[in-house]
Amino acid sequence: MEKESSLAVKAYETIRQQIFDFDLFPGQIVSDYLLSKELNMSRTPIRQALMRLENEGLLEEQSGKKNYRISTITTEDIQDLFDFREGIETTAFMLAWRRGITPDQLKALQDITNNMKSTNEAGQAKEHFFYDQQFHNELVALSNNKRLVKAHDEILLQLTRMRFLSFLENSLQSKACVKHQAILDAIRDQDYEKGRQAVIDHVRSSKEDYINLFGNGLSSNSLCLLRYFTRTPKEAPEEGTSNGTEGGTGP
């Protein structure tokens, strides 16, 4: 049983990465039989992995069939997810403000944003992505509210997959740096309302950007570009905490 559980974890991590890398693309049908052949393991751990991915929103069960398909990314999906995210992050900001954001916590957020800026200027998209994820993790964590953090974690994988779309438009990375700095400037100025509005503006602006970027779906050329970015080695930067795509958040 223990061995099978280990295989289920391995299958889960492998299939999840294939989804993030767009080797398995939105709408594609996946079969436990074919995956068992590809991963060289029995169908039982594969099925366990697929059920877990379905619970996390990355897979959809085919109605009346045994197979799954990779969840599509639609305009409605983006709207729903970012509206939920707005609620989480604005509430987290409010609670963090009530608790009091310390100078050390502000400095930590500023350091992350500075790393975002430097990696963006250096054209290091993967590293920028890591710090962008980390910023939002830290912001939600400042609420010290376990339920909020859990809710944020539950949509993390879906957000991560959508955030890979930002690789298709370089200007979004510079824009994220500006939006993050606006939040930090408001905290530094001790202006709660300005900070809250900066959080809302950032999330809503990101939502519109992704809707515009996604358009009518991912073209073949777009998928090729995404695979180019996502297949490069996923090593986290040496500094900072390990809250990258394997367990972090984003723009």
Instruction: Tell which wins on pLDDT, 153 or 214.
Output: 153
Answer yes or no: are the C-beta atoms of 218 and 226 closer than 8 Å: yes
pLDDT in tens, 205-229: 999 988 887 765 555 555 555 555 5
How far from 199 is each of 34, 151, 180, 202, 215, CA to CA, in Å?
Answer: 44, 17, 8, 5, 25
| CATH code of the domain made up of 2-70 | 1.10.10.10
Task: Find the Cα–Cα–Cα–Cα dihedral 165, 176, 231, 41, rounded to 10°.
Answer: -70
pLDDT in tens, 227-240: 555 555 444 444 44
For residue 96, which of 13, 19, 196 has the smallest C-alpha distance?
196
Check residue 220 and give its pLDDT. Answer: 53
Check residue 229 and give its pLDDT. Answer: 55
What is the edge-to-edge ordering of all strands in the sheet holding 29-30? 29-30, 68-70, 59-61
Q: What average pLDDT does the segment 82-100 reach?
A: 97
Q: What average pLDDT does the segment 64-86 reach?
A: 86
Tokens of 130: 């890591």
Q: What average pLDDT does the segment 139-160 reach?
A: 90
| CA–CA distance, 135 with 152 (Å, rounded to integer) | 13
Q: Where are the domains of the chain?
A: 2-70, 75-230
Check residue 72 and give its pLDDT. Answer: 81
Answer yes or no: are the C-beta atoms of 14 and 46 closer than 8 Å: no
Query: Locate tokens 């992505």: which residue?
Result: 129
Q: What average pLDDT does the segment 89-98 reach?
A: 98
Check residue 50 and give its pLDDT. Answer: 94
Share of the chain above pLDDT 90, in %: 53
Q: What does residue 63 show for φ and ψ, rounded to 5 degrees?
A: -60, 125
Share of the chain above pLDDT 70, in %: 80
How far from 160 is each of 185, 195, 213, 243, CA to CA, in Å?
Answer: 26, 24, 16, 12
Check residue 246 and give its pLDDT. Answer: 38
Tokens of 9: 């974890």
Residue 138 has pLDDT above 80, yes or no: yes
Q: Please give the mean pLDDT across all residues of the chain.
A: 83
pLDDT in tens, 155-179: 877 777 777 666 667 788 899 999 9
- Please report the DSSP string for 21-80 in residue order: TTSS-TT-EE-HHHHHHHHTS-HHHHHHHHHHHHHTTSEEEPTTSS-EEEPP--HHHHHH
Check residue 192 and give its pLDDT. Answer: 98
Answer yes or no: are the C-beta atoms of 78 and 210 closer than 8 Å: yes
Instruction: Tell which wins on pLDDT, 96 or 231.
Output: 96
| CA–CA distance, 184 with 129 (Å, rounded to integer) | 19
Please state which of the ranges 64-73, 185-194, 228-237 shows the lowest mean pLDDT.
Answer: 228-237
Q: Does domain 75-230 have CATH number 3.90.1150.10?
A: no
